[in-house]
Structure 1
Amino acid sequence: MGKFDDLPEARRRGLEKMEEVYGFEMTDGSGDFFRYTAEHLFGDIWQRPGLSTRDRRIFLIGMLVGQRANDVLTIQVPAALANEELDAEALRELVILACHYDGWPNGSRMNAVVEDSIAKAERARAKKES
């Protein structure tokens, strides 16, 4: 039995998808904002046919770079690595693309998030292997 099995179907699906996308354990929340996030955004939009989770993540990362939303990039980039949707090489390629389309300063900010995420993932992997 899963930890969200006692919740309505839309809420359960949304919370499970949130865990997959964010890469960390979720708990149920309250209020309309959380309800729309869990049930609509993650229970419906992130699960529509036509794009994979990886496709959606790449698109989202691009939008976040353009919006200078590094706080959310610090969630999405590590989750992409953890879910093996993007590896270090692919993330570094996105940085180069961002630099040329969105400007070097913004691409540089993205690069800092990417390199920090890669370093943390490599440290975690080395710790697990030892």
Structure 2
Amino acid sequence: MSTDELRRKGLEKMNEVYGWEMPDVQGDPYYDLTVEHLFGSIWTRPGLSMRDKRMMTLTVVTALGNSDLAEIQVNAALHNEELTEHELKEMAVFLTHYLGFPLGSKLDGVVSKVAKQRKKAAERGEGENKKANVNAAVQMHSGGKVHDDHDQ
């Protein structure tokens, strides 16, 4: 598979995983690696469902105590209807007994925050805050750099 095909495949999977259109940021080696390897080769592997992969990703970011990454993943799980708010809350309870109260309750707080934000946005008829989600995901996958030069 050519690099261009791998990049196209990776961007398609990235869009599916996050549930919104991700920009094709050029020239950032971290972003290139994320698109072409993580999403083009790893997330596209058969054997685990998207729901399985999402649960594993949420478990890891919870174990690391990274609320920013958890927020992105929770929002995407709800957007893609892979997990319900209730199931995410149950994950937090379950993980608390393996990771400890501080980390488990942090995930529970993230789920509550994201659900509240989504509900308020829906009540205002705004849908989701896609620009914030895309910017956070781009920053996460580009070595912490913010890229404002892409279209939303």
Is the TM-score greater than 0.5?
yes
Match of 1:103 in 2: 100
Match of 1:3 in 2: none
Aligned partner of 1:23: which letter?
G
Alignment of 1:1-130 (within 5 A): 8-29=4-25, 30-128=27-125
* 2:23 alignment partner, SS class: coil
Distance 1:82 1:69 in 2: 20
TM-score computed with the length of structure 2 as normaliser: 0.75
* 2:81 alignment partner, SS class: coil
Residue 111 (structure 1) shift: 1.1
Q: Is the deviation greater in 115-124 or in 47-56?
A: 115-124
Distance 2:12 2:113 in 1: 27
Q: Summarize deviations over 1:46-100 as a string: whole Å, max 9, x none.
A: 0100001111000010011111111111110000000000011100100101211
Residues 17, 42 of structure 1: 8 Å contact kept? yes
Show structure 2 runs of 5+ residues with no match: 127-152
TM-score computed with the length of structure 1 as normaliser: 0.87
Show structure 1 runs of 5+ residues with no match: 1-6
Aligned positions, number: 123
